[in-house]
C-alpha cells in the first residue's frame, strides 16, 4: 500500500553556521520540504544551540516551513517568542510538559502547528491522550543532544506503534523521525510509517545535498506500509 510523498527536513544542527544562509539556499535548491531547527537548552539535553534570533534570521532567507524542535526544560516560556520569530511548527517533549494539552493549545492559538516528541526511552503510550490534538508527532531515534549519532534499531517498532496510534485515532498528525536517518535506513523508517524524515549529517556532510535529499525521498517510493508493529523488521 503506497502513501503520499515523503517530506525531507534537513537539520541545520549539522550545517556550517558560518555560512548558514548559503547552506539553507543549497538544501532549498536540493528539494528540501522543511527546515528542522533544534533548540537545545543545555539542561534537558546536553548541548546549547540556537534561540529565537536565529529562527527570525532564517525566516528572512527562506520560504521553507521552519520546523522548530524545542528540546527545553521549560518550553512554555518560549512559545510566544519562537512563534513571533517565524516558526511554522513548534514541537515540545512530553517529558517536559506537565500540562501538555495547554502547551499544545498555546502553540495553536498563535497560528503555529503543534508537534509533540518522545525520546527513545519514552513509551508511545504517553502520546495516547494528545495524538488527536497534535499536528506532528516526532519520534527521536537517537538520544537528543548531538548530531551524527547512530540510529537506534528498536526505534523501527516504536515508529510503527506511533503510526498505528495516529491511524487508530484518526489524528491529522504527520509522523516525523529524527536521529541517524540516512539513505541506507530510510526505506525501513518509511516502511514503519514515517511521513517526514529529519536528516542532518547525512545531508550536510555530502558534496551534493540534493542527491542525498532525493535518495531519502526515493526510499519511500516502492516501500510497503504494514500497520501491525509486529510485522516491522528490527535489524540489530
The residues annotated with a catalytic role in the active site are 38, 178
Alpha-carbon distance 207 to 195, whole Å? 25
Q: Are 65 and 35 in contact (CB under 8 A)?
A: yes
Alpha helices in the chain, H assignment, sequence order: 20-29, 52-61, 79-85, 100-109, 155-169, 183-192, 201-204, 209-218
- Give the full edge-to-edge strand order of the sheet including 66-71: 7-10, 196-199, 174-178, 136-140, 113-118, 89-93, 66-71, 35-40
Q: How far is CA 139 from the centre of its chain?
A: 7
Burial group, residue 225, by CB count within 10 angstroms (0-12, 13-18, 19+): middle
Contact 91/136 with Cβ under 8 angstroms? Answer: yes
From residue 222, how far is each of 34, 39, 73, 183, 186 by CA, in Å? 23, 34, 40, 14, 12
DSSP-based three-state secondary structure for 222: coil
Amino acid at each position: 500500500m503506497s502513501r503520499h510523498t515523503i517530506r525531507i527536513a534537513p537539520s541545520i544542527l549539522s550545517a556550517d553556521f558560518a555560512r548558514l544562509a548559503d547552506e539553507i539556499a543549497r538544501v532549498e535548491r536540493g528539494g528540501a520540504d522543511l527546515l528542522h531547527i533544534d533548540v537545545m537548552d543545555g539542561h534537558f539535553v546536553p548541548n546549547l544551540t540556537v534561540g529565537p534570533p536565529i529562527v527570525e534570521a532564517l525566516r528572512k532567507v527562506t520560504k521553507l516551513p521552519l520546523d522548530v524542535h524545542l528540546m527545553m526544560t521549560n518550553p512554555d516560556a518560549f512559545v510566544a517568542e519562537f512563534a513571533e520569530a517565524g516558526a511554522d511548527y513548534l514541537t515540545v517533549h512530553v517529558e517536559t510538559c506537565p500540562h501538555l494539552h495547554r502547551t499544545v493549545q498555546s502553540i495553536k492559538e498563535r497560528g503555529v502547528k503543534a508537534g509533540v516528541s518522545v525520546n527513545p526511552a519514552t513509551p508511545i503510550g504517553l502520546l495516547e491522550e494528545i495524538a488527536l490534538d497534535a499536528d506532528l508527532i516526532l519520534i527521536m531515534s537517537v538520544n537528543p543532544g548531538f548530531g551524527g549519532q547512530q540510529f537506534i534499531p528498536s526505534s523501527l517498532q516504536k515508529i510503527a506503534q506511533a503510526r498505528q496510534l495516529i491511524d487508530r485515532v484518526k489524528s491529522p498528525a504527520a509522523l516525523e523521525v529524527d536521529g541517524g536517518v540516512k539513505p541506507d535506513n530510510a526505506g525501513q523508517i518509511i516502511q514503519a510509517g514515517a511521513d517526514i524524515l529529519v536528516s542532518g549529517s547525512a545531508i550536510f556532510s555530502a558534496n551534493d545535498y540534493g542527491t542525498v535529499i532525493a535518495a531519502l525521498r526515493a526510499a519511500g517510493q516502492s516501500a510497503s506500509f504494514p500497520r501491525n508493529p509486529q510485522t516491522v523488521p528490527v535489524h540489530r
